[in-house]
Structure 1
Amino acid sequence: MIAIVDYDVGTVASVSNMLRKVGAKATITRDPDILRAADKLVLPGVGSFDEAISNLRRLELFDLLNELVVEQQKPILGICLGAQLVANGSEEGTLPGFGWIDAQIVRFKAASNTQLRIPHMGWNTITPTRPGIGIFTDAPDPMRFYFVHSYHMLPASSDDALATTDYGYRFVSVMGRKNVLAMQFHPEKSHKFGLQIFRQFSESFVAC
């Protein structure tokens, strides 16, 4: 069973619908017992970094997720803001993130000679840096996903960068370490491309 973490910041219904379309058993929950019983976790999110962290702490989910992800090594997929929360922290706020991956979240830096619009919004492609990794198995080429974000992930180690995207410059759009996957885009809004990601995550993903 896949538990979708409900912490009042996220597109939980859309994620649930996509998982069910690929045949996965999924539930939206903040119940500690259900989260502990789950085989895998999804951490979606939209909004601001500090609000998300504050909600997780208010609902007593922050320490629980650390227990499940770090100590029990449950596979987890972070989506958009949920992906950013796995990093150490963000330029958007002051609160620390989970730190499951050694990374910072930084605002897009638009060069003066470009027409780069922030937020980065709309469809864009990703280029795997480790195409053999299981999450990309049988994926269409090119892979196109829907993005909405003003900040992006900057991992300390290139080993944690699983895919990049071009928006004025190359940025890391998928990162991962061990049982943690973080995707800056919205697979739940990305039609067949998103369905393939959810299928691979639910059926075969264990670790990077």
Structure 2
Amino acid sequence: MAIIDYGIGNVASIANMLQSASIPAVVTADPAVIAQASRLIIAGIGAFDAGMERLHDRGLVPILTNAVFEKKIPVLGICLGMQLLMQSSEEGDREGLGWIAGRNVRIGKNPDAEPVKVPHMGWNVIKVRRDSRLLEGLSGDTRFYFAHSYSVACDNPADVVADAAYGGSFPAIVSHEHVCGVQFHPEKSHRYGRQLLRNFASMPF
């Protein structure tokens, strides 16, 4: 498994969690390593435009696009990494990767929901919308650790695996064919995050 090193975020924490789950992984930006990986993880924290700029500056966008769509390597976006999978964001002006149809919107803007503080930080439960091997072995008390100010809005509701609620409902897990994303931080979510990463590492696509 290859964790993409593009200069933003918590790649060491992801690597440590994968190691604790006995999942072999390497942090890399090497095109040859990426092309041979069994799985890819794009993690990250921070602003959407900064994330896309780092990917472009390191020449990773065509390399990753080729790996995901020509070689069909499954990919998991985590937090900002999930948001980069979208086409655009209210947060900035750059185009996203566009691997899942949709955009990013600021949380807490739902006029029908109770006002909330932004960012959303802390533990939250999820509500499963549809079956997914990503959630295999996780029970009804499953909760994950979130830290974000924006969330994705998918054009196709079928791409949403699970929701969470904070200032209104938002997608917590998305999946379109072999492109997956989670808004929370599995590396900070103890046994729940460890199980989800194990599922991603082993599930067929």
Q: Give the TM-score taking structure 1 as reference length.
A: 0.95
Does structure 1 residue 169 correspond to structure 2 residue 178?
no
Q: Following the alignment from structure 1 to structure 2, what is the Cα–Cα distance between the partners of residues 77 and 124? A: 20
Match of 2:87 in 1: 88
Q: Which residue of 2 aligns with 1:134?
A: 133
RMSD: 1.3
Q: Which runs of no fewer than 5 residues in structure 1 stay unpaired?
A: none
Q: Contact between 2:113 and 2:167, CA under 8 Å: does it hold in 1?
A: no
Asked whether 1:8 is paired with 2:7, we answer yes
Contact 1:87-1:101 within 8 A present in 2 as well: yes
Instruction: Report the counterpart of residue 41 of structure 1 in structure 2.
Output: 40
Q: Which ranges of structure 2 fall in alignment gaps of 5 or more residues?
A: none
- The count of corresponding residues between Structure 1 and Structure 2 is 204
Task: Give the 3 Å change call, closer, same or farther, for CA 161–113 of structure 1 in structure 2.
Answer: closer
CA–CA distance in 2 between the matches of 1:115 and 1:92?
20
Task: Check 1:124–1:160 CA distance in 2 against 1; reply closer, same or farther (3 A cut).
Answer: same
Identity rate, percent: 39
Question: What amino acid is aligned across from residue 120 of structure 1 in structure 2?
Answer: H
**Corresponding position: 1:107 with 2:141:** no
The AA in structure 2 aligned to 1:202 is A
- In 2: Cα distance, 1:83 partner to 1:170 partner: 17
1:170 offset after TM fit, Å?
Answer: 1.0
Once the 2 structures are TM-superposed, how far is the Cα of residue 88 of structure 1 from its aligned partner?
Answer: 0.3
Deviation at 1:114, TM superposition (A): 3.2
SS at match of 1:101: coil
Partner of 1:21: 20
1:111 positional shift: 3.6
